[in-house]
Amino acid sequence: MTRMPTYFISHGGGPWPYMEDMRARMRVLEEALQDMPRQVGTTPSAVLVISGHWEEADFAVMSHAKPPMVYDYSGFPAHTYEVVYPAPGAPALAQRIESLIHAAGLPSHLDPHRGFDHGTFAPLVVMYPDAQVPVLQVALKAGLDPAIHIALGRALAPLRDEGVLIVGSGQSYHNLRMFGPQARQPSNAFDAWLQDTLLHSSPEQREARLVNWAQAPSARMAHPREEHLLPLMVALGAAAGDAATCVYHEEGIFGGVTASSFRFDAAAT
């Protein structure tokens, strides 16, 4: 079986694929997400998402066979609180994942109740609109320590040889109080640092830089709280020394934000 790549994606705003006007504004992101199955090259056995919208005291693993929906947004049209992404869960895989995390000495447990939040269902309804691929999530760990999330990625890395697509779903810039034109400078500065770190640094250098990401230019303006950046750490840890490719880059979204997504694989081009 071909080793799967890993991804860190900027997943856009709220339930954007279910809103015609917002989807039109997110056209570049939509095209990038639609292209991911082609890049992967084969249908995954499952998609494992680490979303910036789920945190627990430890690395909880979704084990529901038919995950419900979590409408973790506010102020959107009524119909967006009724949408359903009916992908099956993967209880047996959840047990496998929990055992990998436990074997790495990291705290974890199965969560049989958790459903899909919009960090999962919004991008996946674009990537796999038929919802035919099993999907599950692993929570971020409270405290948001970069190193332990890189360690989580390393623990999950064997899944890549088992057909599992690992997707860190967050946002390369996430400051809800600084959108519009005022976002242009900090998002550009942080994105430039991110591009240099992921595309032009050695595996050892990029890991060290991401552990110390808060020292990057405009870091705390780009991420006052880092939950939308931490999924990158998991994708990077699972990637080991694989090369990175920028697979989505856009300037001026949300009135001034620069955002990017990245793929990690041995044959990255």
Q: What is the pLDDT of residues 102-155, one digit of tens each?
A: 999 999 999 999 999 999 999 999 999 999 999 999 999 999 999 999 999 999
DSSP string, 38-73: HHH-S--SEEEEEETT-EESSEEEE--SS--B----
Question: Residue 199: phi, psi to the nearest 5?
Answer: -95, -25
pLDDT for the residue numbered 1:
61
Q: What is the mean pLDDT of residues 225-243?
A: 96
State the DSSP code for 245. Answer: E
Confidence category of residue 267, pLDDT binned at 50, 70, 90:
low
* CA–CA dist 137, 95 (Å, integer): 12
Question: How many residues are recorded in the chain?
Answer: 269
Structure tokens at 1: 């079986």
- Flag whether 56 is in a domain: yes
- Flag whether 1 is in a domain: no
Counted domains in the chain = 1
- Flag whether 32 is in a domain: yes
Are 258 and 191 spatial neighbours (Cβ–Cβ below 8 Å)?
Answer: yes
* CA–CA dist 242, 231 (Å, integer): 17
Task: Please choose, from the candidates 179, 173, 175, the residue with its C-alpha nearest in 3D space to the C-alpha of residue 194.
Answer: 173
- Flag whether 125 is in a domain: yes
In this structure, the number of other CB atoms found within 10 A of the CB of residue 58 comes to 13
* CATH number where 84 lies: 3.40.830.10
Helix (H) / strand (E) element for 182: namely: none
Structure tokens at 27: 């056209």
Are 30 and 190 spatial neighbours (Cβ–Cβ below 8 Å)?
Answer: no
pLDDT for the residue numbered 254:
87
Residue carrying structure tokens 């899909």: 116
Confidence category of residue 269, pLDDT binned at 50, 70, 90:
very low
Confidence category of residue 180, pLDDT binned at 50, 70, 90:
confident
Q: What is the mean pLDDT of residues 47-64?
A: 97
- Flag whether 159 is in a domain: yes
* CA–CA dist 8, 119 (Å, integer): 12
Residue carrying structure tokens 């900027």: 10
pTM listed for this prediction: 0.96
Range of the domain at 132: 6-265
